[in-house]
A and B are shown apart, each in its own frame.
Chain A
Amino acid sequence: MPAIFKWLDRQIPKIAIAPSFAAALLFVYGFIAWTGYISLTTSRMFPRYDFEGLHQYERLFTNPRWMVALENLAVFGGLFILFCLLVGIVLAILLDQHIRAEGAIRTIILYPMALSFIVTGTAWKWILNPGLGIERVVQSWGFENFAFDWLVNPETAIYTVVIAGVWQSSGFVMALFLAGIRGFDQEIVKAAYMDGASLTRIYLSIILPSLRAVFLSAIVVLAHLAIKSFDLVIALTGGGPGYATDLPATFMYTMAFQRSELGNAAASAVIMLMTVMAIIVPYLYSELRKKGHG
């Protein structure tokens, strides 16, 4: 009998983790498999367990709305990553200059990440609204012809999503880079300084190039955020005007919960998953290999 108790005792760690692991298997892997299968069927309002091959994907990529969503993701994602990096790095360098009240400024820069964009989007919508926001303020200063109607113009509305997105996430990039800059060897900085290098040169050609790993993590995280962006668009433009600011995440939601196009929604979700994986898997692989060697 004691042998059995001993055996049981050794199984306790496994038993303790079993529910969580089972949940992951079912709710992550099982559900992905289910979505993958549904994307190969004719499902509309209700799931239908037949098989139709890649027809839903064909429909997806001949749907102009999906193509707009993909194009928007490319424009939004590209500009979002670029400007977050730019603003974040400039802020990190500025904050590295022995600023008084550095803590307070950091707090101000990072608070957007603690708030839901459904909350802050309400304010952005108002600021960017031509009749109420910036346009009206500048016009009231006497510049009668000033126009800033990006929010309601289908051609430019996606750029307002970029403005708000950068506002929300650039603080995170600042935090990453500030930590990287602070971790840089000060002896090297001093030596370069003695050799007559200017402060600008020191940052641009010595410190920043050494932060390749920080760049990589920042880009991966930002790309991941861009692909998942949903609240941002819903709160700011609702995907409009028309579907001019649709992103894959809002497209999938519309197909799944408003249009009752389960098969098509599943196909778009699978494409989203594959896009994320294409970015994350090589990154994680290289990270894990580095750790294995270090």
Chain B
Amino acid sequence: MADGHARLPGHGGSDLRAMLLRAVLYGLLGLFAFYYLLPLVVMISTSLKSLDEIRTGSLVSLPEAVTFDAWAKAWNSACVGVSCNGLKPYFMNSLLMVVPAVLISTLLGAINGYALTKWRFAGANMIFTLMLFGCFIPFQVILLPMARVLGLLGLAGSIYGLILVHVVYGLAFTTLFFRNFFVSVPDELVRAATIDGAGFFRIFFSIMLPMAVPIIVVTVIWQFTQIYNDFLFGVSFTVSGGVPVTVALNNLVATSTGVKEYNLDMAAAILTGMPTLLVYVVAGKYFIRGLSAGAVKG
């Protein structure tokens, strides 16, 4: 992109002036980069310090003696509320919740997007508009009935309950993503396959899904980030168990027995953030694509 962009020549100013301007430009960008990186740097550096060093050192000083004790404790034995088994079990909960919820919501979204665009039936647009609405609602408006329903189904405080919630409220987004993708796929493909005798699902699995790999990646990454990072549903529906790691982290930080162990808080935060941070570093391009597709619409 940057290459196609015309470079503006200097306005008769001297080279010195141009160089000064560049220096100011890079200085400003450096300051901004510092602002964005500060919390991450503080988190990592504090998590690697001993408590003594935190007491004597300052926020921005780097650790003199690096120790991973806080990380080990955060993982194995830190206290979340009254149980002191670290974040490990809650990571398992998050994992068991995220994987099925992402897979189910992505698959259903793909089927919906395909059915809505390639098999246009009466009312398809109406159905899409009605489903799209789910992207915009503040979830507070469904918290109370959802808590009731999960209770009635016996799913309160269970991972299955959270999977259900995330699938149901992720569908609006996944349907939107796939609908916008499939709408640009030529209808002739489907027509030709129909003439050859292929049915709805046959066309879906052998023609449409292989074509849709880029949007599948975007959707999976988007859903993974959203569901893993969720706090509102986790904190509202898991009072009795199945607590995801974001909620556990919040409880860990709020647990105040004796001396406040800041290195422990930071290590727990880093560990909790690690999965989405890794996904972002590895596949940031797809995350940003989902961001512009998902956030502009909701």
Contacts and interface: CB of A to CB of B under 8 A. Distances in A.
A120 B200 CA distance: 45
Chain A CB within 10 Å — which of B7, B133, B169 has the most?
A: B133
A4 interface: no
Contacts of A262: 144
B59 A136 contact: yes
Contacts of B139: 228
A28 interface: yes
Interface in A219-240: 221, 224, 227-228, 230-231, 234-235, 238
B291 A172 contact: yes
Contact of B246 (A12, A30, A116): A116
A123 B288 contact: no
A273 B168 contact: no
B296 A24 contact: no
Contacts of B235: 234, 253
Nearest to B61: A137
Contacts of A17: 111-112, 115-116, 127
Interface string B141-169: 11111111000000000000000000011
Contact of B5 (A186, A199, A249): A186
B136 A276 contact: yes
A145 interface: no
A171 interface: yes
Interface of A is mostly: helix
A127 B39 contact: yes
B38 interface: yes
Of B28, B59, B230, which is in contact with the most chain A CB atoms at under 10 Å from its CB?
B59
A182 interface: yes
Contacts of B137: 28, 32, 273, 276
Contact of B250 (A14, A97, A118, A176): A118
B284 A269 contact: no
A217 interface: yes
Contacts of A207: none
Contacts, number: 259
Given A20-B171, A116-B273, A120-B39, A221 B231 contact: no
Interface in A11-25: 12-14, 16-17, 19-21, 23-25
A81 B186 CA distance: 40
8 nearest A-B residue pairs (beta carbon):
A13-B119, A116-B229, A123-B39, A114-B280, A119-B273, A122-B269, A13-B115, A31-B145
8 contacts: A20-B175, A23-B168, A24-B134, A31-B146, A35-B141, A111-B40, A111-B280, A125-B253
Interface of A: 9, 12-14, 16-17, 19-21, 23-25, 27-32, 34-35, 38, 47, 87, 91, 94-99, 102, 105, 107-120, 122-127, 132-134, 136-137, 140, 167, 171-172, 175-176, 179, 182, 186, 189-190, 193, 198-199, 217, 221, 224, 227-228, 230-231, 234-235, 238, 248-249, 252-253, 256-257, 262, 265-266, 268-270, 272-273, 276-277, 280
Interface of B: 1-2, 5-8, 11, 25-26, 28-29, 32-33, 35-40, 42-43, 46, 58-60, 108, 111-112, 115-116, 119, 121, 127, 130-131, 133-134, 136-148, 168-169, 171-172, 175, 199-201, 225, 228-232, 235-236, 239, 246-247, 249-250, 253-254, 262, 265-266, 268-270, 272-273, 276-277, 279-281, 284, 287-288, 291-292, 295-296, 298
